[in-house]
A and B are shown apart, each in its own frame.
Chain A
């Protein structure tokens, strides 16, 4: 299994500011995923972050709003830029288990709960 640490665990932010969320994994992984979970809803994939290449964004998410860094195989950051109250969500980092179980087992961090005022 992989242990994933996210920082911050929660934050209250002012409208118009930006916040960077950090994700640290205790082992080297090829693919890291960033999800958003709005209040009372399911998880929506924001982007897939591969080391050494540009992140791949899902429909409705753009790099200018959610820039992602992936400097090495154990670390990634997601920035939520120019925040508005609609960005209030839990942001979750995850990695795939490549230990022979196929691709279904994602390990998740505890999430970063952002509240934008």
Chain B
């Protein structure tokens, strides 16, 4: 079947290298940001989140950076593995209001062996 990421921007990375995926968000009032990973044929899966009172948050092999001044998010994946191949989406919302989550445009991460 057709990949959901067929027409999305693609980032090609050598296996073992670090990956950096960038995202611009739209609403300056948003104070909570999330990265999702979507593998082919599956729904998105939560990776990591960050609130606006932080500018960096680390997880296992992943780091999210937030620059509120320019409304920019990035997801860094260390030592990229074949299993990291997927489409990655950033999303934004308001933390305190159980508000709807709005997804940004995605990036397809392709791993070269």
Contacts and interface: CB of A to CB of B under 8 A. Distances in A.
A94 B43 contact: yes
A66 B43 CA distance: 20
Interface in B22-51: 32-34, 36, 41-46, 49, 51
B18 interface: no
Contacts of B44: 43, 92, 106, 108
Contact of A39 (B2, B46, B93, B101): B2
B103 A44 contact: yes
Contact of B49 (A45, A101, A108): A101
B7 interface: yes
B69 to A, nearest CB: 21
Interface residues of B, number: 35
Given A42-B104, A48-B100, A105 B4 contact: no
The contact size tier of chain A is: 20 to 34
A37 B41 contact: no
Given A48-B100, A113-B1, A42 B89 contact: yes
Nearest to A4: B43
Nearest to A111: B43
Interface string A26-63: 00000101010101111111001000000000100000
B45 A40 contact: no
Contacts of A35: 103
A102 B51 contact: yes
A68 interface: no
Nearest to B36: A106
B8 interface: yes
Given A39-B6, A42-B89, A106-B44, 9 more contacts: A40-B3, A40-B4, A45-B101, A104-B46, A105-B49, A106-B36, A107-B46, A108-B44, A110-B43
